[in-house]
Amino acid sequence: MKKKKNKETEVSDKNRLKKETGIVGTVCNDKKCHIHGGLKTRGRIFEGKVTKKFKNRVVIELERMIYIRKYERYQRGKTKIHAHLPQCMENEVGVGDLIRIQECRPLSKMIHFAVIKKIKSAAQRQKSLGGR
């Protein structure tokens, strides 16, 4: 049997999320927003670099090491994940930024993740990499 949340706990949960993500003054009408809408995020969390940005989604590239048993060595691999970009974060996130995404219910054929927060901008990433 599911417990029903009262309105006071829902408001406090939203305030907590706003403080964590840093989005305080902006309000969006996006139903698929995890802060202002009804989208619940759960499951896996990834951090990756934004390679493409569209109107309501971003493409994130993750680098990972794949073990090849035949050669007993590791190979560097890349995975692309599509994530929903809420309206309230559209101005903050750009190509080259490092962002955090979290799993949610399937929003479309390709999108099963939502952008949670921006970690570093492209300029900050360049400084930390030593100007590469």
Torsion over CA of 47, 52, 58 and 64, rounded to 10 degrees?
Answer: -30
Closest CA relative to residue 62, chosen from 101, 92, 93: 101
Residue 66 resides in a domain? yes
Question: Beta-carbon neighbour count of residue 87 at 10 Å?
Answer: 17
Q: Which pLDDT score, from 0 to 100, does residue 13 have?
A: 56
Residue 109 resides in a domain? yes
DSSP state of 105: S
Q: Which pLDDT score, from 0 to 100, does residue 115 have?
A: 93
Q: Which CATH number belongs to the domain containing residue 113 in this structure?
A: 2.40.50.1000
Q: Which pLDDT score, from 0 to 100, does residue 126 have?
A: 75
Q: Which pLDDT score, from 0 to 100, does residue 99 have?
A: 93
Residue 1 resides in a domain? no
Q: How many domains does the chain have?
A: 1
Domain range holding 29? 7-129
Residue 2 resides in a domain? no
Residue 120 resides in a domain? yes
Residue 10 main-chain phi, psi, to 5 deg: -65, -40
pLDDT tens, N- to C-terminus, the chain (132 residues): 555 656 555 555 555 555 555 555 567 788 888 888 888 889 999 999 999 999 899 999 999 999 999 999 999 999 999 999 998 888 889 999 999 999 999 999 999 999 999 998 878 877 777 765
CA 58-61-64 angle, to 5 degrees, is 155
Q: Which pLDDT score, from 0 to 100, does residue 10 have?
A: 56
Residue 36 resides in a domain? yes
Closest CA relative to residue 49, chosen from 32, 62, 33: 62
Distance of CA 10 to the CA centre of its chain: 22
